[in-house]
């Protein structure tokens, strides 16, 4: 029996940034149609849009039409559930959210509960109740920002809870962001909003998720991504299917960085499933086919 080649998902925190059109996405890509070429450039996206607002069902249907069949969305659960209600009495809201996304089928790479910095070990009962009730058709991951989860009994309790429910701990890497004082407005905004948490590199499941937050100093971002390459390669050799999301303060280079990261890991793991062939960028003379 043949063994399927390993798969590495890479992507950005969004699929639509107009600055990418003519640089990474084909010239003339209409607004609202960016997902089609984006999903041929990389093979995953961090679904931040659902954190802030629920899309209409017609929009979800359009996403299903535009995305490459091998593409994966990892959607964030709405902040009304994680931040406003703090996972308390959210069964109906969570079920409605999952039902809204469900028509995407195998395009769904999972759902992430991104919890606020004030959500600490004392709140784990609420997380336990939610994870016990979520549909197991989908992969679930949790991102925490409270410092007590990064050592001692808080870490042990959270790890035990996540293992019990087969959920992944999102590995958040902000080391390069805080390595040097930022010099751009976007970098200063990241310093104010992103958490300074210790780096964790131990996955709990066979589908680890890394959220890498780079710097506005490009050489620091490149160095941080380079450090992840052998670790991701080891996970692939172990039979895991990792996802790497690449952020920078302005996100102007993230498609190039994500695809380049995949290329670099492929040199370490030659049997890695390749990314789709990116659509040609073209030029002003190109007629849009979208």
The pLDDT assigned to 1 comes to: 54
Per DSSP bridges, beta strands 168-169 and 72-76 are unpaired
Each residue of 85-94: pLDDT tens digit? Answer: 999 999 999 9
User: What is the rounded average pLDDT of the residues 141-150?
Assistant: 97
Each residue of 71-83: pLDDT tens digit? Answer: 999 999 999 999 9
The pLDDT assigned to 3 comes to: 80
Strand 9-12: give its sheet, edge to edge.
168-169, 140-143, 108-114, 72-76, 44-47, 9-12, 243-247, 209-213, 171-173
Each residue of 165-206: pLDDT tens digit? Answer: 999 999 999 999 999 999 999 999 999 999 999 999 999 999
DSSP letter assigned to residue 15 = S
The pLDDT assigned to 289 comes to: 42
Please report which confidence band the pLDDT of residue 160 belongs to, taking 50, 70 and 90 as the band edges. very high
Nearest of 265, 250, 251, 259 to residue 279 by alpha carbon:
259
Token duo for residue 262:
């995949």
Residue ranges of the alpha helices (H) in the chain?
35-41, 49-52, 57-66, 79, 91-101, 124-133, 152-165, 185-193, 218-237, 254-268
169: enclosing H helix or E strand: strand 168-169
To the nearest whole number, what is the mean pLDDT of the chain?
A: 95
pLDDT > 90: percent of the chain: 94
Is residue 286's pLDDT more than 80?
A: no
CB atoms within 10 A of CB 116: 15
User: What is the rounded average pLDDT of the residues 207-217?
Assistant: 97
Please report which confidence band the pLDDT of residue 216 belongs to, taking 50, 70 and 90 as the band edges. very high
SS3 227: helix
User: What is the rounded average pLDDT of the residues 234-261?
Assistant: 97
User: What is the rounded average pLDDT of the residues 101-109?
Assistant: 97
* Cα–Cα distance for residue pair 280/27, rounded to 1 Å: 9
* Cα–Cα distance for residue pair 74/141, rounded to 1 Å: 9
The pLDDT assigned to 284 comes to: 56
Domain ranges of the chain: 9-268
Specify the CATH number for 9-268; select among 3.40.718.10, 3.40.50.300, 3.30.70.100, 3.20.20.410.
3.20.20.410
Is residue 290's pLDDT more than 60?
A: no
* Cα–Cα distance for residue pair 108/100, rounded to 1 Å: 12
Torsion sign (Cα): 251, 175, 238, 114: negative
Each residue of 4-58: pLDDT tens digit? Answer: 899 999 999 999 999 999 999 999 999 999 999 999 999 999 999 999 999 999 9
Please report which confidence band the pLDDT of residue 283 belongs to, taking 50, 70 and 90 as the band edges. low
* Cα–Cα distance for residue pair 74/110, rounded to 1 Å: 5
The pLDDT assigned to 2 comes to: 63
Give me the residue label for tokens 């902000």: 174
Is residue 59's pLDDT more than 50?
A: yes
CB atoms within 10 A of CB 196: 11
């Amino acid at each position: 029996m043949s063994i399927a080649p390993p798969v590495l998902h890479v992507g950005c925190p969004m699929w639509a940034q107009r600055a990418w059109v003519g640089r990474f996405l084909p010239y003339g890509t209409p607004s609202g149609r960016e997902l089609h070429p984006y999903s041929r450039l990389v093979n995953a996206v961090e679904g931040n849009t659902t954190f802030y607002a629920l899309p209409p069902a017609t929009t979800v249907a359009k996403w299903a039409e535009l995305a490459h069949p091998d593409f994966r969305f990892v959607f964030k659960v709405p902040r009304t559930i994680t931040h406003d209600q703090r996972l308390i009495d959210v069964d109906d809201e969570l079920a409605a959210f999952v039902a809204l996304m469900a028509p995407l089928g195998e395009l769904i790479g999972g759902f992430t509960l991104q919890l606020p910095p004030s959500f600490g070990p004392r709140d784990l009962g609420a997380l336990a109740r939610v994870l016990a009730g979520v549909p197991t058709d989908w992969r679930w991951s949790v991102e925490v920002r409270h410092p007590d989860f990064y050592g001692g009994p808080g870490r042990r309790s959270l790890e035990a809870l996540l293992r019990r429910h087969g959920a992944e701990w999102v590995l958040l890497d902000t080391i390069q962001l805080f390595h040097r004082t930022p010099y751009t407005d976007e970098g200063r905004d990241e310093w104010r909003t992103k958490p300074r948490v210790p780096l964790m590199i131990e996955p709990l499941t066979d589908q680890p998720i890394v959220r890498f937050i780079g710097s506005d100093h490009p050489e620091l971002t490149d160095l941080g991504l380079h450090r992840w390459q052998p670790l991701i390669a080891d996970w692939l050799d172990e039979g895991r299917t990792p996802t790497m999301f690449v952020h920078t303060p302005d996100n102007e280079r993230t498609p190039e960085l994500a695809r380049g990261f995949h290329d670099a890991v492929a040199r370490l793991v030659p049997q890695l499933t390749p990314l789709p062939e990116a659509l040609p960028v073209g030029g002003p003379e190109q007629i849009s086919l979208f």
